[in-house]
Every structure is written in structure tokens, then in C-alpha cells.
Amino acid sequence: MSRTAEKKTVETVRKAIESAPERKFKETVEVSVNLRDVDLSVPKNRLDEEVILPKGRGKPIKICVFGSGEMAQKARTADLVIQPQEIESYAGDKKKAKKLARTFDFFIAEAPLMPMIGKRLGVVFGPRGKMPRPVPPGSDPTAQINSMRSTVRVRSRDKRTFHAPIGTRDMPPEDLAENLDFLMRRVLGKLERGRFNIQSAWVKTTMGPAVRYL
């Protein structure tokens, strides 16, 4: 993007932060996008992207790995490793499975475990966009885990309006603006008519007022 666009983005982010009262918790800063002229009843027109933010998320992102043996050993940087024999304890307890899906931001699984996870946990993970990303058995998922800690999921589903986090309120406005511009470039690149498919976009903190970006 041009220097003018970047400056405008920084000003938008700064205004969103300054207009929001201080809260007692670390607020997320997010972009809210309203689409137009996109038939979201057709699944292929829906957005479902994972974007690695250049300046990170600004908060800890929790990663869970489903793996056995060698891969379980290599996944030491994950926040939780679930062995194959433990999957049934989650599958047989829907409350426990929902808590797992809610607690962790992203999941990785050895590819051979995916059919079992899909069958036993798909009903909980699928609708929440939490199905694991498959990796080859015995592989080292460290690099993937590290990149996921800066990743956001952009999902429109069948709704005209969707939201995506771009960081946290305590991050420098310049970093948030860089994340925002990067994420929006990805979104525009996925829309058939680019900018013409966006009616408006707004930036806001978790509980603050929205400031127009596009």
C-alpha cells in the first residue's frame, strides 16, 4: 500500500484506541468488514483464510497437537499434546470437547489421526472452525506451531459481516496498522471484485466505538 494509505491506517487505528475508554482487561483490536454483491449461499464464495500477521497477535495464542510417539516428543512447544488413546476421553464427553475447542486457538494433528478426529470430534470442532491442520506422521511441527502464534482466521461463513482480530490495544498503532493493511490485502485478493465487494470496514477495540477504515 502507498505511504498515504499507511498513514491513514495508522490514524484510523489511533482514533479507534483513543476513542475507547480504558478497560481492566487487555482489549483486542479488530476489523469488521461488510461485504456486498457476494453470494455467500455458495460455499466457494465464502472467505476462510488463515493470515499470519507480520507484527503478531499481541497476546499468547494456545496451540494443541494431536500426535503420538515421535511427533508428540517434537511438539514440546505446543501448549497441550493429546495422544491417540486420549481422544476418546474428549469424544465421550461433549462438555469436555467443547471446553477443549474453546480453550485452544488452533489445532494440529498427525494426518493418520484425522479420520478419527473428524468422526469423533468433528461435530464440536467443525462448526467452530477448529478442525486440526494435518501434518505428516512423525514430522516436527515446531515451525508450524510458531507461525500459528501470529495467525488469525478470517471466516465470513454465510454472513455479510465478519470480524478479524489485528492485535491488542497495548500494541503500537503502527504495528496494528501494518497488520490491518496486510490482512485487508489478503481479503481483497480473495474477493472476485476486490474493493468493489466491500461495502465498508471499521476498526474498533473489544468494547470501544467503531471508526471507519474503508
> In this structure, are 67 and 138 located in the same domain?
yes
Q: Domain ends where: 99, 131, 148?
A: 148
> What are 182-193's pLDDT values in tens digits?
999 999 999 999
> In this structure, are 79 and 141 located in the same domain?
yes
Residue numbers of the domain that contains 71: 63-148
Percent of the chain surpassing pLDDT 70: 98
> In this structure, are 166 and 135 located in the same domain?
no
> In this structure, are 7 and 43 located in the same domain?
yes
CATH of the domain at 174: 3.30.190.20
Q: Quick check: 78 pLDDT over 80?
A: yes
> Which pLDDT score is estimated for 2?
45
Rounded distance, CA 67 to CA 85, Å?
A: 10
Q: Quick check: 4 pLDDT over 70?
A: no
Q: Domain ends where: 148, 181, 198?
A: 148
> In this structure, are 71 and 130 located in the same domain?
yes
Average pLDDT, the chain: 94
> What are 45-73's pLDDT values in tens digits?
999 999 999 999 999 999 999 999 899 99
> In this structure, are 80 and 137 located in the same domain?
yes
pTM assigned to the model = 0.88
> In this structure, are 140 and 179 located in the same domain?
no
**What is the count of structural domains for the chain?**
2
> In this structure, are 102 and 134 located in the same domain?
yes
> What are 96-134's pLDDT values in tens digits?
999 999 999 999 999 999 999 999 999 999 999 899 999
> Which pLDDT score is estimated for 208?
95
Give the model's confidence band at 12: pLDDT under 50 very low, under 70 low, under 90 confident, else very high.
Answer: very high
Q: Domain ends where: 100, 127, 148?
A: 148
> Which pLDDT score is estimated for 1?
46
